[in-house]
Amino acid sequence: MVRVTGAGRDTSDSVPRERAQLVLAAAALVAVALAPVVVAYLQLGYHADVSASEEFDAPDRNAERLLSRAVHDAAGETTGAFAWDERTAAAAAVRDELEPRVAALRSSRVESGTVYQVGYNQSAAASWSDANCPVGPNRQFGACEAKQGVVVQERAGETHVLAVAFDVRVTTDDAEMALTLVVRQIG
């Protein structure tokens, strides 16, 4: 159907044309408005030289996080499961529980040039035990002992895991660091 107005123009399809032009103009305006946002996003995006990412990817921090979670899980599995006179077996059970995670850490970043060597530190465990376990007649729990790098304490006749001491050596393409970590069991 064709409409004719006073001037003899056909206006039936001019309204949709105006709408289409309005939609195109709005799209162009949105595109122009979003351009600075896209540029800012690209400038603030990930870059390997950003110090925050270096701190997050620091190999010593990665080892500490992994070992902390592993000790928490292993201690949860063995705490209270062994009588106090079975404390050596409890320490061995903790080490058995930790072994898959320690092995995963040792092989985790070899392809990127980072090598982890992880071992247990009996002397650090004994020092931690001496410094953190109360002694004397008024203590709330029983004696503490360091067994194979694992600090255990007697509580109500059961063996409770308090901490595990590790020696960690991290070798990267450009550095080598050695650290001793004593991971405390919370709870």
Taking only the tens place, the pLDDT of each residue in 5-51 is 555 555 556 677 788 888 888 888 888 888 887 777 766 665 554 44
Both 33 and 106 in one domain: the answer is no
List the beta bridge partners of residue 151: 146, 163
Both 96 and 141 in one domain: the answer is yes
Both 26 and 107 in one domain: the answer is no
- Residue 138 above 90 pLDDT? no
- The Cα–Cα gap between 71 and 162 comes to 10
Both 127 and 172 in one domain: the answer is yes
pLDDT at position 123 is 96
Q: Residue 145: which of 158, 157, 133 has the closest Cα?
A: 133
Q: Give the model's confidence band at 52: pLDDT under 50 very low, under 70 low, under 90 confident, else very high.
A: very low
Both 35 and 123 in one domain: the answer is no
* Residue 52 forms part of a structural domain: no
Both 65 and 151 in one domain: the answer is yes
- Residue 187 above 70 pLDDT? no
Question: How many domains does the chain contain in total?
Answer: 2
Residue 181: helix, strand or coil by DSSP? strand
Report the sign of the C-alpha dihedral through residues 44, 46, 50, 52, in that order: positive
Average pLDDT over residues 78-100: 94
Q: Which domain holds residue 24?
A: 12-46
Both 18 and 64 in one domain: the answer is no
Both 71 and 102 in one domain: the answer is yes
pLDDT at position 53 is 44
Both 38 and 107 in one domain: the answer is no
Both 87 and 163 in one domain: the answer is yes
What are the DSSP calls for 65-92, one per residue? HHHHHHHHHHHHHHTTTSBGGGHHHHHH
pLDDT at position 185 is 83
Q: Are 89 and 97 in contact (CB under 8 A)?
A: no
Average pLDDT over residues 47-74: 73
pLDDT at position 7 is 54
